[in-house]
Amino acid sequence: MIRHPLLALVLCGLALLAPGVASAQIEAPSRLQEVDPSAVEPDLRDDSSYDPGDQPVEDIPDEPEPPPAQDDDAPPAKATRGAKGGKGAKDVEAVPASSKTPAAPAPVAAPVGPVPPPRPAVSQVLAPRVTDAEVLAVWDRWRQARATNDTASADAALKALVTLRAELVASDLEPLSVGFLRESTVRRRAGDMAGAVRLAELAVQLSPGLPYARFALAEAYALAEPGNVSRYLGEARAAFTGLMGDARYRRPVLADLGALVLLAWAATAAALVGLLFLRRVRYALHDFHHLLPRAVSRWQSALLGLALLALPVALGLGGVAVLLVLLGSVALYLSRAERVVAAVLVAGVGLAPLAAGQLARVTAFAGTPAEDVYLLERGGLSAEAAMARVLARQESRAATFAELDALAHYESRRGLLEEAKTHYKAASALRSGDARLLTRFGNALVGLGDAEGAAQLYVQATQSDPTLAAPHYNLAQVYRRRAKTLPDSEVGQELDRAATAIASAQSLDGSLLGRDPPPEERLLLNLLMLAPSLPEAEWLSLADGTEAGRRVEAQLGRWLLPGVSPGPVAWAAPAALVVLLALWGLAGEKLKAAKVCERCGRAVCVRCDPELGVGSKQCGQCVNVFSRKGLVPQQLRNRKQGQVERHQAWAGRLSYALGAVLSGAGHVASGVPVRGALYAFFFLFALSATLLHHGLVRAPYGDVPLYLKLVPAVLLLVGVHLLSLRGLRRLRRGE
């Protein structure tokens, strides 16, 4: 019995508050639960993915009644399990009143109802670090497996190489492809055409941009199935397309073609000027004899004249000086067409050092910063050395935007994300707002886990270049991944953004319609996000061939014009002298220079025969024999007629002989210099291409097959030669 009414009221109030406190303590088990294992266990499931406030009110159990109060003098209460009670039955004694502690309430049951499915965990974007040494290690495994005839290990290594190339987004693995091509050649020689084709196909798969791999595959197809023409012609066409579309392989080809053109030009000039000199030097020596005292005989004056003409060779004045002297000595005795053609050819030889230097400048690639950017963009096995060179140039503050951008892109693909972030920032300092840079930078941030920052960069990229599909596509991937972490109320809006972005990307690039993201269990950054490549126009200007051009110009200048300081003025001087020589040839009539007799070929000299007119085209003998009737006896007339016929027959045979040796030479000897010069140029070009089929500039990782060089060159050589002979025959017949 409670003696104090006020204390009884307080205890009753505490008893009324006890159920509310107990209902909030779901996680902690009550003493009753500890004692009775048959009590209802609380629901400890993680319901953080949904709002528990959405449960209905009627599911919450009612609060239990408070236990009755006990007298303060009562003995302590003990709870014992009944001996004959059922399972879970209990005998609970009263709690002593002196404790004045309310009894622990019964546990609250967990809400009953359907539980929504848990959200799938968002896979982490992977950016594995792979070095060139690890790729080469796989290649070594294949070699070892091949050496031991372990087919299973060899196939596994081949699959690993293909997978590595795809995951690194490396355009070409050229050294490995060259190794497979060599093995393909060994298999082909051993008669295993199927194995040779398979290895050649693998070489193309590892390096689709290597034109020489496609040439080898086309050859393997042709040998394996000669009837399947479309198969190997398609590969050959792809090889030629890659050859001319790739600056690394296109520029050596253009350098070789340019060198052949310059060589053929110089050879044509030497052949044409030499032929004109041989045809007209006798008339020059004839006039030179008139400049000496009469006591000097003609053979003495001829020897003296030839000695003077040989001075440029004896003094080592160079090829241009020799051509100028030869042309100047016979300029008075050439026709207008012959002078013009010879002058153009000699002027071109004088400008050859300048042209060769410029050719070296515009075709330079190897060893330039442009090659480093190219290698970094490709991401192949030579990029690590290029990365070291670009880093060195960055330290010296000489690296350009294209170099830093390509460096960061390479580091991002190889898992060096922090380094890539640093270099992307350095590149953006040189050029801000570049859409490709922003897209690539965003990819690096995705790999670093900064999806929000990546999304901002993608949005900026779409605003900077609305025609670029990559930032739209990447933005859609960010939205999709972010939708997995949002509440249900926001998922729909985020997926709508992703759908809009992917639709924009597919409208700009139709190939994205069939592109699927990588599997969630191996979500690689390089395969998940698109990285637009750097256009060739952005970095090709870094192929600075100024130094190479200067060296080529100086070296060729020492051959053609030794002792002359290289420079545009020095190379233009021969052209100016040639123009003067061409004008000098117009003064032949005023200087009373000898001419060629159109009948017998003797010199028409007014000094030797003053009776001849200045414009006479026949010598004095021909005029007396053929123009003046009855002046010369018939016997002398017949003799002279025989000389004329023999001269013309000899001239015809000489023309055919010269035309047989050198296309166009017969035309020049017959007085048709323009057509003869064209025939000679193409003939000498084809001849040079045939003899110098290895080329002057060696391309990396191989060369065009030899038959693809020789066959066109030989066909051009034979075709030009036959056409020139047919034209010469028609010319001699007067057709």
**In the chain, what are the domains?**
5-99 (no CATH), 132-250 (1.25.40.10), 252-361+551-593+662-733 (no CATH), 369-542 (1.25.40.10)
pTM value is: 0.77
pLDDT at residue 614, as a whole number:
64
Residue 467, Cβ density class (10 Å: 0-12 exposed, 13-18 middle, ≥19 buried): exposed
pLDDT digits (tens, 9 = 90+) for 410-466: 999 999 999 999 999 999 999 988 999 999 999 999 999 999 999 999 999 999 999
Q: Please, are residues 669 and 654 in contact by the beta-carbon 8 Å criterion?
A: yes
With cut-offs at 50, 70 and 90, classify the pLDDT of residue 375.
very high
More confident residue, 12 or 627: 627
Calpha distance 361→254 (Å, rounded): 12
- Which range is least confidently modeled, 91-105, 129-143, 170-184, 599-613? 91-105
Helix (H/G/I), strand (E/B), else coil: 333: helix
pLDDT at residue 120, as a whole number:
54
pLDDT at residue 587, as a whole number:
83
Model confidence at 347: pLDDT above 60: yes
Q: Please, are residues 728 and 655 in contact by the beta-carbon 8 Å criterion?
A: yes
Task: Single out the residue of 482, 506, 502, 477 nearest to residue 492, CA to CA.
Answer: 482
Calpha distance 242→212 (Å, rounded): 9
Please give the single-letter amino acid code of residue 402: A
pLDDT at residue 593, as a whole number:
83
- Which range is least confidently modeled, 90-94, 140-144, 169-173, 222-226? 90-94
pLDDT at residue 67, as a whole number:
43
| C-alpha 137, offset from chain centre | 26
Model confidence at 341: pLDDT above 70: yes
Calpha distance 700→371 (Å, rounded): 12
At residue 599, φ and ψ (nearest 5 deg) are -100, -60
Calpha distance 516→498 (Å, rounded): 15
First to last CA, the chain: 152
Using CA of residue 667, residue 672, residue 676, residue 677, what is the dihedral sign?
positive
At residue 595, φ and ψ (nearest 5 deg) are -125, 175
Q: What is the mean pLDDT of residues 526-531?
A: 92
With cut-offs at 50, 70 and 90, classify the pLDDT of residue 735.
low
Model confidence at 49: pLDDT above 50: no
More confident residue, 702 or 479: 479
Model confidence at 617: pLDDT above 80: no
Model confidence at 381: pLDDT above 80: yes
Model confidence at 155: pLDDT above 80: yes
Model confidence at 12: pLDDT above 60: no
Model confidence at 104: pLDDT above 50: no
Strand-strand pairing, 91-92 and 595-596: unpaired
pLDDT at residue 119, as a whole number:
53
Mean pLDDT over all residues of the chain?
81
Q: Return the structure tokens found at 73.
A: 């003098």
Calpha distance 246→666 (Å, rounded): 42
Model confidence at 394: pLDDT above 70: yes
pLDDT at residue 681, as a whole number:
96
Task: Single out the residue of 697, 668, 707 nearest to residue 270, CA to CA.
Answer: 668
pLDDT at residue 615, as a whole number:
66
Model confidence at 638: pLDDT above 90: no
Percent with pLDDT over 90 in the chain = 47
Q: What is the mean pLDDT of residues 28-57?
A: 33
More confident residue, 515 or 31: 515
Model confidence at 585: pLDDT above 80: yes
DSSP 8-state symbol, 86: -
Model confidence at 582: pLDDT above 90: no
